[in-house]
Amino acid sequence: MVKHQRQGFFLFCFIFVFLIFFKCTVFAEDTVSHEKDYLDEETITTVADPLEPWNRLVFQFNDRLYFWLIKPVARGYSMVVPEDFRHAISNFFHNITAPVRVVNCLLQGKIKSAGVEAVSFVLNTTGGVFGFHDFAGKDLKLRVVDDEDLGQTLGNYGIGNGIYIVWPVLGPSTLRDTLGTIGDGFLDPVNYLELENAIMVHTIEFTNKTSLHLGEYEDIKASALDPYIAIQDAYIQYRNKKIKK
């Protein structure tokens, strides 16, 4: 009996961590959409990269995966689902992850922002039809300055980036942000669905978000002599700027 309980516990842990890291894929895709803003800045931000040989191999793997699989799927999806619907789906997923933002606002002492996030969640879930419409933001002009996550919270308390990591499929991250994403995963309600349902929901979320940002990764590659360094630098600058807000 005890043996079966332990097996069940370890299976649960494995599945939960898998779903959290699947969620990282969406996080990384969202980050790429902001990285272009930092490519033309003169400041070069350094980060410890002792895993660079491995990271570069993973970067090349992710690059090929994007062009051979992810982009074609997202492009086909965008041809079937109208853009307005895709934005509505994006609003829905942003709304259901409100607990992540509320908790991290509170952990950073941003009481007002936490309140705005909580109120926005209630308004969007009700008046926005389960969050598909950003009722609080578009109609009531109720907006939070910036999304908060555990990686930012840890940075706010003085914890540095740690080493730079490029995860297979998931993309650029740091040790701090990886740990932060795992922590945030416990607040994501999707991760508590049955395994097959959770995977399906995260896949829809990732495909939908990718379809809204097609071409942005290509722009980053085209404007950089070394895309690996360009994305690394832009990612670190982007995360550092979010922490300072």
User: Helix, strand or coil for residue 170?
Assistant: coil
The rounded distance, in Å, linking the Cα atoms of 56 and 104 is 32
pLDDT of the residue at 144? 74
Residue 245 CB neighbours (<10 A): 11
Query: Which residue reads 């350094």 in tokens?
Result: 46
pLDDT of the residue at 169? 87
pLDDT of the residue at 30? 58
Backbone Cα Rg of the chain: 18
Q: Which two tokens stand for residue 73?
A: 């799927």
pLDDT of the residue at 11? 45
> Cα 93 to chain center, whole Å?
11
In the predicted model, residues of the chain with pLDDT beneath 50 are: 2-17, 27, 42
Find, among 58, 54, 184, the residue nearest to 176 by Cα. Answer: 184
- List for the chain the helix, strand, coil content (%; round to 5): 70, 5, 25
Is residue 48 within 8 Å of 164, Cβ to Cβ?
Answer: yes
The rounded distance, in Å, linking the Cα atoms of 81 and 74 is 10
The rounded distance, in Å, linking the Cα atoms of 48 and 174 is 9
The rounded distance, in Å, linking the Cα atoms of 128 and 21 is 29
How far, CA to CA in Å, does 47 sit from each of 50, 162, 178?
9, 8, 15
Residue type, 123: L
The rounded distance, in Å, linking the Cα atoms of 187 and 101 is 9
pLDDT of the residue at 132? 97
**Residues facing 123 on adjacent strands:** none
* pLDDT per residue as tens digits for the range 120-156: 999 999 999 999 999 999 999 888 767 899 999 999 9
pLDDT of the residue at 84? 97
pLDDT of the residue at 16? 47
Query: Which residue reads 């002492």 in tokens?
Result: 109
Is residue 107 within 8 Å of 74, Cβ to Cβ?
Answer: no
